[in-house]
């Protein structure tokens, strides 16, 4: 055996399950497998139950492999996340579980008490976003990436307001954005951290242009990209 997550693990799974691949092809099934995680696609619930019973029997009796009954199921394809994806209305989308894990990671990277500067924070965040979108960039629901982008910007707005303990910096940027000095001051004194990021004045000042100037990567820039094109040029 080898540790779970080891680069060798998928290779060993391919060796052990090569006979399963041949059996599925011999039976004419459409399937998708990564390591020991696989889907078999059929046309009806009745066929799904029949195929599942047959394949479980084959794995246990012919290959002498244990089957995790709790993780084995028959279900409509839209209800089955696979490798972080779901198929909904014939399109690929990021699964709910994958999005939750994404948000947990971004929360850790954008804590308001983070001592790094905004540019340093964005550099660290971009490293994670680049790796994440390189994998999930094939998803086809533009709204999902748009919502995540907006959520990330709100996290960063809250962080930036926390770092601007002196109100004059933010007031100066607001005035440069077109606010009157008295309006800029009134907005600042009435704000408080996370709740403030939803105020129109803050979104108007720390807007898309401001974030692009800081170098922030937008996930939505990579939605529906041609699959043959690389995400990032060398």
Domain ranges for the chain: 8-74, 95-222
Residues 214, 53: Cα–Cα separation, whole Å = 55
Residues 51, 180: Cα–Cα separation, whole Å = 70
Predicted confidence at residue 161, as pLDDT, reads 78
Q: In the chain, where does DSSP find H-type helix?
A: 8-16, 18-26, 45-57, 96-109, 118-136, 142-163, 167-176, 181-189, 193-196, 200-205, 208-213
**What dihedral do alpha carbons 147, 150, 155, 159 form, nearest 10°?**
170
Predicted confidence at residue 169, as pLDDT, reads 66
Quickly tell me which residue has 């500067």 as its tokens: 117
Quickly tell me which residue has 């533009």 as its tokens: 142
pLDDT tens across the length of the chain (234 residues): 555 556 677 788 888 889 999 999 999 999 988 888 899 999 999 999 999 999 999 999 999 999 988 888 898 988 888 889 988 888 888 999 999 999 999 999 998 888 888 889 999 999 999 999 989 988 888 889 999 999 999 999 888 877 776 656 666 777 776 767 776 666 666 655 545 555 677 777 788 988 999 999 999 887 655 444 444 433
Predicted confidence at residue 234, as pLDDT, reads 37
Residues 100, 91: Cα–Cα separation, whole Å = 20
Which SS3 state, helix, strand or coil, does residue 85 take?
Answer: strand
Predicted confidence at residue 9, as pLDDT, reads 74
Half-sphere exposure for 221 (CA within 13 Å, toward CB) = 10
Predicted confidence at residue 125, as pLDDT, reads 94
CA 144 to chain CA mean position, Å: 9
Q: Is 233 exposed, middle or buried (0-12, 13-18, 19+ CB in 10 A)?
A: exposed
Residues ≥6 apart with Cβ < 8 Å to 161: 170, 191, 193, 196, 197, 202
Half-sphere exposure for 159 (CA within 13 Å, toward CB) = 25
Q: Is 184 exposed, middle or buried (0-12, 13-18, 19+ CB in 10 A)?
A: buried
């Amino acid at each position: 055996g080898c540790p779970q997550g080891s680069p060798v693990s998928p290779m060993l799974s391919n060796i052990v399950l090569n006979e399963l691949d041949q059996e599925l092809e011999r039976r004419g099934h459409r399937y998708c497998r990564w390591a020991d995680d696989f889907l078999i696609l059929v046309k009806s619930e009745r066929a799904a139950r029949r195929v599942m019973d047959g394949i479980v029997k084959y794995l246990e009796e012919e290959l002498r492999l244990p089957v995790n009954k709790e993780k084995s199921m028959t279900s409509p394809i839209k209800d089955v996340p696979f490798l972080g994806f779901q198929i909904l209305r014939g399109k690929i989308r990021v699964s709910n579980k994958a999005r939750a894990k994404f948000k947990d990671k971004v929360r850790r990277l954008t804590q308001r008490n983070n001592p790094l500067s905004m540019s340093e924070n964005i550099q660290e965040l971009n490293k994670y976003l680049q790796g994440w979108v390189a994998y999930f960039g094939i998803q086809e629901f533009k709204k999902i990436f748009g919502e995540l982008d907006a959520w990330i910007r709100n996290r960063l707005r809250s962080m930036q307001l926390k770092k601007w303990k002196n109100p004059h910096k933010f007031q100066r940027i607001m005035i440069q954005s077109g606010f009157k000095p008295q309006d800029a001051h009134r907005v600042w004194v009435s704000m408080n951290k996370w709740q403030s990021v939803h105020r129109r004045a803050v979104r108007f000042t720390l807007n898309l242009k401001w974030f692009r100037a800081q170098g922030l990567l937008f996930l939505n820039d990579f939605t529906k990209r041609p699959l043959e094109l690389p995400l990032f040029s060398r």
